[in-house]
Amino acid sequence: MTDGAAIAGPDGALRCPWALSTEDYVAYHDEEWGRPVHGDDALFERLSLEAFQSGLSWITILRRRPGFRAAFADFRIGKVAAFTESDRARLLTDAGIIRNAAKIDATLSNARVLAEWAPGELDELIWSHAPEPGPAPRTLADVQAVTPESTALSKALKKRGLRFVGPTTAYALMQACGLVDDHLEACVARLA
C-alpha cells in the first residue's frame, strides 16, 4: 500500500502510483501524460476521449483508443463534422468504442462547432487557460480534480457551444495535454 507518494516500478524508477497498475499506464504515463499537446485535431481527440472517460476508468479509454481513432477518422475535426446520421448509427454499434449515445452526440456536435472556428483557435483557447506553474505535488492527495483555471476553461468551452466539458473533464484535459504538470515531485517523468 502507498501513501500516495511516488513508488518504484519494476525498473526501479519512481513513478506516480496510478501509473504502475498496468503496462499500458506505464507507457502512457512516461511518454504522453503531462507532455504539451498542440494542434486543433490533437486537442479535439484529447477533449473527446476525456469526455468519453467521464464515469469510467481511463484504462478503458486508453485500451480502446485505436478503436476510437478508427471510428472517428483520427479525430480530424473537418471529417467528424461531416459525419451523417448513418455514421452516428455506425458509432452506436461499434464495439471498439464506448457506445454511449450522449457522448457520441457530444463528440459529433463539438466537431461541428469546432469546424466553424479559425485554424488554431481551439489550441489558443485551451492554452490561454494554462495556469502559472506551481509547486510539484508530493503525493496524490496534493493533486486537485478541479481548479479555478479548469472551471474557467469549462465555462469558455461551453460558452462557445461545446458539450461534455465540465470542470473535472477540463482539468483532466489540462493534465493530459501538459497545461499542468501533476507528475509527483519524485516521479521520473517530472524529472525527464
Supply the residues annotated as catalytic. Answer: 28, 50, 58
Give me the count of residues in the chain.
192
3-state secondary structure of 74: helix
Number of H helices, E strands in the chain: 10, 2
CA distance linking residue 56 with residue 141, whole number of Å? 21
Q: Where are the alpha helices (DSSP H) in 32-166?
A: 40-53, 58-71, 77-81, 85-92, 101-114, 121-127, 148-159
DSSP 81-99: HT--HHHHHHHHT-TTS--
